[in-house]
Amino acid sequence: MSEEIVEVGKEIDISDEIYRLYRFPKGETAMLKKPKSLVIDEKGIHHITDKAGYTHSISPGWIHLKYKKEGNIKEVVLNTKHTKKISKKIEPEVIEEKKKE
């Protein structure tokens, strides 16, 4: 599997993604539905604009990222410890946002 290199400050079209789910060390999650574009700044912050026009900023402390693209039965998983993309089959209804307690 290949690793993707992303240019700092460059806008990336991610409008083919259905959702993005970021997981943090203490179990917190951030789910973004219908993302449109992604820009990663020099500090590693992910700035994601959704199809409604809202921009969400995700701090670089995430440990796990998964996203699903339209038309795919697989989701893509990226762990910061391994930095390689791993694909696995899932059922879409299994994906839920974990609520903070």
pLDDT tens for the chain, residues 1 to 101: 345 567 889 999 999 999 999 999 999 999 999 999 999 999 999 999 999 999 999 999 999 999 999 988 788 888 765 433 333 333 333 334 444 44
pTM: 0.71
Write the burial class of residue 24 (CB in 10 Å: 0-12 exposed, 13-18 middle, 19+ buried): middle
Measured CA to CA, the distance from residue 31 to residue 52 in angstroms comes to: 15
DSSP 24: -
Coarse DSSP helix, strand, coil percentages of the chain, rounded to the nearest 5 percent? 5, 45, 50
* Closest listed residue to residue 1, CA positions, set 89, 88, 61: 88
